[in-house]
Amino acid sequence: MFYGLLLLFSLAQTGICFTDGEKFFRIKSSASEEFSEFCIQLNETSVQLNETSGSLFIGTCEEDNGGQLWNVDLHSRIHNEIPGFRAGCIFNVNNTLTYEIDCSNPASGLRKQYAKFSYNLFDDKIMHGYKALHIVGTVQTGAPVAMKKPKQNKINQEWKLDFVPLPEQIKLVNNPCGNAGACAICSGDCDRDSDCEAGLRCAQRELHINRENVPGCFWGDDSDRERFLDKDYCFAPTDKSSESIVNYVGECSYKNSGYKCKKCEGSCHYHADCDGTLECFHREGFEAVPGCEGEASARDMYGRGICYEAGLPSVSPGAVNCTVDNNCAICTTCENDEDCFGDLRCAEREANTTVPGCFISTATDPAITSDTNLCFRPQSFPGNAAVVNYVGECSQSSYLCGRCEAGCTVDDDCQSDLVCLERNATEHVPGCFHEGNPALDMKGKNVCYDDPSKPELLWNGNCNHRHPCPKCGGGCEGDYECKDHLRCAKRYGLEDVPGCRWGSNASYPTFLGDWSYCFDPSVVTAANAVRYIGQCSPTIPGYLCDECEGNCKYDSDCAFDLKCLHRTGFDNVPGCSDEGSDRDMWGKGICYDPTKFL
């Protein structure tokens, strides 16, 4: 039997085997057509525990999951090397598949041989020697993979490669595009869709937000300055409406036969911009959209209105009691989280309380207004969005509540140094907003919030070198406007300030605004913990960022041979820990050591 070898050629730059726009692929099980879509995935947790190696398993195919993206080098090794993720190879040792960060052969001269794979073009098998890549047991999430003797028509051994291009780097080529012809993908400045090449649309960005990324594109060293300018760029919209994923497809409009947004699409401004009976859900940031998933993902865009189904599902008591084997759907009765399907959780109700995302009608079922528990889908908010949000019951054994998340009983149910605030109804939570929103909050649920012993952020007006701002005081424009060794934490909306808390005096517009505050960067953290120390720059003496420090914008902002990892939120940083902690800051670039992951 002849096995065709699939090779993807790439250029090596400082040990990283990728180029802008190079195609990667997911290794997708052919069983996906009969069941659902499953892909080979790196167990990132196992790599973090072992530091040098890890395991592989079958996971649901996800568009933005870097642990599912692979490539093949000139030595036929399957590797995972994408910007901001780990760099390692898949090995077959005694018919067991493992993942190792070191793709070379440190253990023996035969190591490279153990990493060589080929793709059989005739029966869709991935081979290593005379063994085929095989899903062990039932094709389902979490199933392990191994190498076994190939068999014909064995669905557990059939694979297809789902090619995925890496995002293009954003380029500012002309202003506007129309003066020099149509702009290509990820280039600008465009003013309207007609400025872009056929099939592309113009992603409209706003200067005062500075948070908008461009779907399918990334900010690189050559374009990072432009992200803070009011420039618009061409992008390729995709149709995700059948998947209920929040998806920016361009500006939707009811005027002049414009495109009307489908479910979970944006950007809409009016209900009339949405298709059919859908309505426009207005957002100030990356707020969750009822009935949709994937907010703040690579296809979402900051502050954009999204079309959604405004009606809530009616509560149904269910014909039978739900169990682990017979899961409850959304808004049906339950006793605990295990009774609910998928990512649903069981909302523990007191008498006559509402449940986020469910419509409770006494006309439909009078008994349902008692203390019957119901399955619901908790909404997720990126970063520290400061919106009071019931996520289910929190505990050390299940899920620790983040800031402004409801469901705690004691302080230990909260993340980090947060404390649990007891409530009898929907009382105000200091530093949090939108209490009592029936779509998110739940009566009588306690909320995790900042320890009141932390200094509160206070607005001092316009600071200057004569009247510098104190710790947690705003608004500064630079370090020179802060007292002593304090530095100015530059904000663009959404960010918390390290070592400070939002108090009852803060308003939601203030939180979303771009006001900056002075903070103390000298606080000692755990080794390799991500921490924001202020703006790093080679032009500021003593302020080159060390490993796991930020904010960096360019590699030159980092000490030694460290590189700058650009982030759009609390993204993981290779070799670092505690992303999203009190000392981290939303969306700040962090310096890391790339040599540890070659």
DSSP secondary structure of 107-136: S-TTHHHHTB-EEETTTTEEEETTEEEEE-
C-alpha to C-alpha distance for 383 and 568, rounded to whole angstroms: 10
Cite the beta strand spans of 465-554 per DSSP E.
Answer: 473-474, 487-489, 517-519, 531-532, 549-550
pLDDT digits (tens, 9 = 90+) for 125-165: 888 878 889 998 888 888 889 998 888 878 888 888 887 76
Both structure tokens of 33: 């057509």
C-alpha to C-alpha distance for 472 and 481, rounded to whole angstroms: 12
| pLDDT above 90: residue 71 | no
pLDDT band for 319, please (50, 70, 90 cuts): very low
Higher model confidence: residue 448 or residue 114?
A: 448
| pLDDT above 70: residue 229 | yes
Residue at token pair 């493992």? 98
CB neighbours (10 Å) of residue 401?
A: 27
Q: Where in the chain is the domain with CATH 2.80.10.50?
A: 23-165
Radius of gyration for the chain, computed over Cα atoms and rounded to the nearest angstrom: 26
State residue 110's pLDDT score.
Answer: 43
Question: In this structure, which topology does domain 23-165 adopt according to CATH?
Answer: Trefoil (Acidic Fibroblast Growth Factor, subunit A) (2.80.10)
Both structure tokens of 233: 């760029």
Torsion-angle region of 254 (φ positive above 0: left; ψ -120 to 50: alpha; else: beta): alpha
State residue 219's pLDDT score.
Answer: 73
Query: Global pTM?
Result: 0.53
Mean pLDDT of the chain: 79
Q: What is the DSSP string of 215-244?
A: TTEE--TTTGGGGGSS--EEE-----GGGT
pLDDT digits (tens, 9 = 90+) for 256-310: 667 889 999 989 988 888 988 888 888 877 777 877 887 877 788 888 899 988 7
| pLDDT above 90: residue 350 | no
| pLDDT above 60: residue 175 | yes
Kindly state the percentage of the chain with pLDDT values over 90.
17
**Average of per-residue pLDDT across 183-202:** 88
| pLDDT above 80: residue 396 | yes
Which residue, among 364, 373, 321, has the nearest Cα to 344 in the 3D structure?
373
